[in-house]
Amino acid sequence: MAKNFYITTPIFYPNAKLHMGHAYTVTICDILARAQKLQGKETYLLTGADENTGKILKVVEEQGQTVEEYLNQVTLNFKDLYSKLGISYDQFIKTSDKETHWPGAQALWKKLVETGDIYKATYSGLYCVGCETFYTEKDLVEGKCPVHLTVPEKIEEENYFFKLSKYTQIIKEKIESNELLIVPQTRKNEIVALLDRGLEDISFSRPIKNVPHGIPVPGDPSQVIYVWCDALVNYISALGYGRNTELFEKFWPANVHVIGKDILRFHAAIWPAMLLSAGLPLQKSLLVHGLITSGGHKMSKTLGNVIDPYELIEEYGFEAVRYYLAREVSPFEDGDLTKERFKESYNANLANGIGNLTSRIMKMAQDNLDAPVSIAEREDMSQYFAFYDSFEISKAADFVWNEIKSLDQYIQENQPFKVVKTDKEAGQKMIGELVVRLYSVARMLNPILPETSEKIKALIKENKTPEVPLFVRKD
């Protein structure tokens, strides 16, 4: 089994306000990384921001802030959210970073040029200045930009293009054979259907006069690299591609890029084509997660159903949020989150469930055992970890909570607290076995509830019941 595990979030748009979607993506990445680390792998979790985005930066400048100040503030916001969620990431990459990111993007560009996959052509299209985006006729609503409701300009400009079309067949083969694994199957089918329709070459640069924030095209300062050879390259530039290859050699190819379904095509078609063109191995897999809805609808201000991750963390603690996202949301489909469901699930599975179970077992142990139970650390957990290897996070969580339930049932049926009064030895043996099984639960909880996992292990080592409940019931 390979020793290293490299996992990435997408680079996020530098939004001022972070929402549940950000919290979800980064939390499942953190859980998957921790699960691999627990199996003895060296892990690397990359996250970051997609900063060369003219749209947002234009607004910032109009509001009189410098772009750098704004981006630094956004980075701090992300880091604050990550720290509040207990995310253990290895690097936050900023695509405006000229030292870390730009050399990688430019090095990859040069590789594509060497292969002969970059060519110059005239691009003509319908352009909305407000969106800084080209639209096709069918994107428009009654001939107008769907966002601004203005008539786009027809403009022509010189662009560099990438021969994406050349790679259609080979990418399709790699996806069909699972050499590039796309999970879930529905997303794989979707991309295979798209590849069946064929890929067209895509614009890879823009004139610098139209796009001031971006990475200059090597050898042509009149053009900047446009989106693909900038944003997607973060996954390798962060590892030092184009600068220093130590990390790159250690961790590339990525085990998994975790993405939302809106960026599937970029990651399942454009990025693999670029890697093939550069002679680099493809990422091993794509985990395409769904949206977090609320009450069955996309969260929106207008509907008033937006749930703020900070508020939940404040009220319930970060592990409650991690728990919900891990267990109550399937990593493969849209998942629903309402305040009512959150509270219900918190009370049933954390306050009761693991919280109550720990108190019960450790109270019996504290009152009836003469010494802490000694635990053999080596235990086969391959059945449990197999869920994580196939990204089945909610099933992994179910596995742990089934064990919690079965421990509760055992106590109910066998009443060791009574047995120990009439037959001390038999009672102590039962309690000792419960403690051993609770320790296994604590070990399994580590990826999802890292803090609680450590707390339970410490209680077992000291043979003590918690002074305050692990999770206080909410009314």
Both tokens of residue 399?
Answer: 């596995």
Burial grade of 388 (CB within 10 A; 0-12, 13-18, 19 or more): buried
In the list 17, 55, 148, 298, the residue contacting Zn ion (rule: CB under 5 A) is 148
Under the binding rule (CB under 5 A), the answer on residue 56 touching Zn ion is no
Segment interacting with Zn ion (CB under 5 A) among 47-55, 143-151, 218-226, 351-359? 143-151
Segment interacting with Zn ion (CB under 5 A) among 127-135, 259-267, 314-322, 465-473? 127-135
Catalytic positions:
19, 22, 128, 131, 145, 148, 298, 301
- Going from the C-alpha of 311 to that of each of 74, 83, 207, 308, 320, the distances in angstroms are 19, 15, 43, 5, 12
Under the binding rule (CB under 5 A), the answer on residue 128 touching Zn ion is yes
The minimum distance between CB 58 and Zn ion, in angstroms, equals 12
Name the residue nearer to Zn ion (CB basis): 152 or 416.
Answer: 152
Under the binding rule (CB under 5 A), the answer on residue 145 touching Zn ion is yes
The minimum distance between CB 131 and Zn ion, in angstroms, equals 3
311-350 mask for Zn ion (x: CB under 5 A)? ----------------------------------------
The minimum distance between CB 127 and Zn ion, in angstroms, equals 9
The minimum distance between CB 62 and Zn ion, in angstroms, equals 16
The minimum distance between CB 140 and Zn ion, in angstroms, equals 10
Segment interacting with Zn ion (CB under 5 A) among 86-94, 105-113, 123-131, 165-173? 123-131
Under the binding rule (CB under 5 A), the answer on residue 59 touching Zn ion is no
Under the binding rule (CB under 5 A), the answer on residue 180 touching Zn ion is no
Name the residue nearer to Zn ion (CB basis): 148 or 424.
Answer: 148
In the list 130, 212, 219, 281, the residue contacting Zn ion (rule: CB under 5 A) is 130
The minimum distance between CB 150 and Zn ion, in angstroms, equals 7
Name the residue nearer to Zn ion (CB basis): 62 or 380.
Answer: 62
In the list 76, 147, 151, 458, the residue contacting Zn ion (rule: CB under 5 A) is 147
Would you tell me which residues interact with Zn ion (CB under 5 A)? 128, 130-131, 145, 147-148
